[in-house]
Amino acid sequence: MMDVELQILRLPHGAGLPLPSYQSAHAAGLDLLAAVPSAAPMTLAPGERGLVPCGIAIALPHGFEGQVRPRSGLAVRHGVTVLNAPGTIDADYRGEVMVMLVNLGAESFAVTRGMRIAQLVVAPVARPRIVEAPALDATARGAGGFGSTGMQ
C-alpha cells in the first residue's frame, strides 16, 4: 500500500459534514457525501440526472487521479448511479468535487444532506510517451472487439 497524502478543503456549504472516509479496513474508496441544503434535498425523477455538490475541494498529488465511482448499494436498491462512471478528477483540479448522479430506477429518489452518494478512489496515473507507429504487433486476439473473447 502506498502512503499518499490527500489534502481536503472543506467549503462553507460542507460545514458540519464529515470528511470523506473509508467505511472498512480494506475499502478502496472514500465515501463522498452530498452537501445539499438540509431544507432542500435534491430530487431526481426517474431518468433524471443531477450534479450533486460534495462541499469539498481536494489537492491530489502529482501522478495521481481521483476516480468517482458509484456506490453499489444505491445502484442495486434504487437504480441510482454515477452517470460518467468513473468520473476523473485530475491532480491539477482545485474546484469543488461534484458527482453527476442519474436515476435509472422507477421511482423518484431524494438526495439528502450527508447521504453517501459515491466513492472516491485515488489511483496512480501513467502518462505514456505518444509514439506514432507504422503498424502494431500481432496478437492472438487481433482486432476482435466487444464480446470477441467470449465467443465460442
Spell out the alpha helix ranges (H) of the chain.
72-78
The pLDDT confidence band at residue 152, using thresholds 50, 70 and 90, is low
Residue-range domain boundaries for the chain: 7-126
How far is the C-alpha of 124 from the C-alpha of 62, rounded, in Å?
9
pTM attached to this predicted model: 0.88
How far is the C-alpha of 112 from the C-alpha of 43, rounded, in Å?
9
42-44 vs 109-111, strand pairing mode: antiparallel
- CA distances, 14 to each of 26, 128, 133 (Å): 26, 37, 49
What lies within 8 Å, CB to CB, of 85 at 6+ separation is 68, 69, 70
> Which of residues 146 and 55 earns the better pLDDT score?
55
How far is the C-alpha of 69 from the C-alpha of 119, rounded, in Å?
5
Instruction: Look at the domain 7-126 and name its fold.
Output: Deoxyuridine 5'-Triphosphate Nucleotidohydrolase; Chain A (2.70.40)
pLDDT at position 2 is: 75
